[in-house]
């Protein structure tokens, strides 16, 4: 059950953008994380988790955001290496990586960075045109139509 999203402070917003910049630096086709509006959706994504989990991941990201970009990259690499250890040693780092990457990738690849013209920078870079449209419900056949279809077959 999701809760009411809690807005990000300026420092939290900056920290999420810096961590996102390390995880999603962009390339020739895709924009970097900080060039999209993805960070504005972080509170809604975090609201889907437990309150204690949200508070923990917010603190970790704020502390990481105080570091220079190369140190953030180094720290994420170190946590990733430890996360592959078996047993209790790797459990918390795995959960941390799932949490941080989950929020960053969900906000980036969700297509919520749509510009005023309705296009997503990320989807355009991937050459994907995703649209969600409701299906038109088909009318269930009545008994007369079923009888007619059965007679035609037999």
- Whether residue 20 is contained in a domain is answered as yes
- Whether residue 136 is contained in a domain is answered as no
State how far the Cα of 125 lies from the Cα of 42, in Å rounded to an integer: 22
pLDDT for 113: 64
| Confidence at 16, pLDDT banded by 50, 70, 90 | very high
- Whether residue 150 is contained in a domain is answered as no
- Residue matched to tokens 């504005």: 40
The tens digit of pLDDT for each residue in 32-44 reads 888 888 888 899 9
Percent of residues, the chain, with pLDDT higher than 70: 78
Contact 20/110 with Cβ under 8 angstroms?
Answer: no
pLDDT for 23: 94
The tens digit of pLDDT for each residue in 109-150 reads 887 665 555 667 777 777 776 666 777 777 666 666 656 655
- Whether residue 149 is contained in a domain is answered as no
The H-or-E segment that residue 148 falls in is helix 143-153
Which residues touch 13 (CB under 8 Å, ≥6 apart)? Answer: 39, 42
- Whether residue 140 is contained in a domain is answered as no
Contact 126/27 with Cβ under 8 angstroms?
Answer: no
- Whether residue 142 is contained in a domain is answered as no
- Whether residue 47 is contained in a domain is answered as yes
Q: How many CB atoms lie within 10 A of CB 25?
A: 14
- Dihedrals phi, psi of 128, to nearest 5 degrees: -125, 135
State how far the Cα of 111 lies from the Cα of 131, in Å rounded to an integer: 10
The tens digit of pLDDT for each residue in 83-100 reads 988 888 888 899 999 999
Contact 32/58 with Cβ under 8 angstroms?
Answer: no
| Confidence at 153, pLDDT banded by 50, 70, 90 | low
pLDDT for 117: 59
Domain of residue 29, residue span: 10-129
- Whether residue 1 is contained in a domain is answered as no
Q: How many structural domains compose the chain?
A: 1
**pTM over 0.85, yes/no:** no
């Amino acid at each position: 059950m999701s809760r009411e999203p809690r807005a990000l402070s300026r420092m939290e917003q900056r920290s999420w953008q810096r961590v996102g910049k390390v995880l999603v630096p962009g390339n020739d086709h895709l924009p970097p994380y900080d060039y999209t509006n993805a960070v504005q959706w972080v509170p809604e994504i975090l609201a889907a988790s437990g309150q204690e989990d949200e508070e923990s991941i917010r603190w970790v990201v704020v502390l990481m955001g105080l570091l220079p970009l190369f140190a953030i990259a180094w720290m994420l690499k170190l946590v990733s290496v430890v996360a592959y250890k078996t047993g209790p040693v790797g459990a918390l780092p795995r959960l941390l990586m799932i949490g941080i990457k989950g929020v960053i990738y969900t906000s980036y690849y969700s297509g919520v960075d749509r510009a005023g013209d309705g296009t997503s920078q990320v989807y355009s870079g991937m050459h994907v045109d995703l649209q969600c449209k409701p299906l038109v419900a088909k009318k269930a056949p009545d008994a007369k139509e079923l009888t007619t279809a059965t007679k035609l077959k037999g």
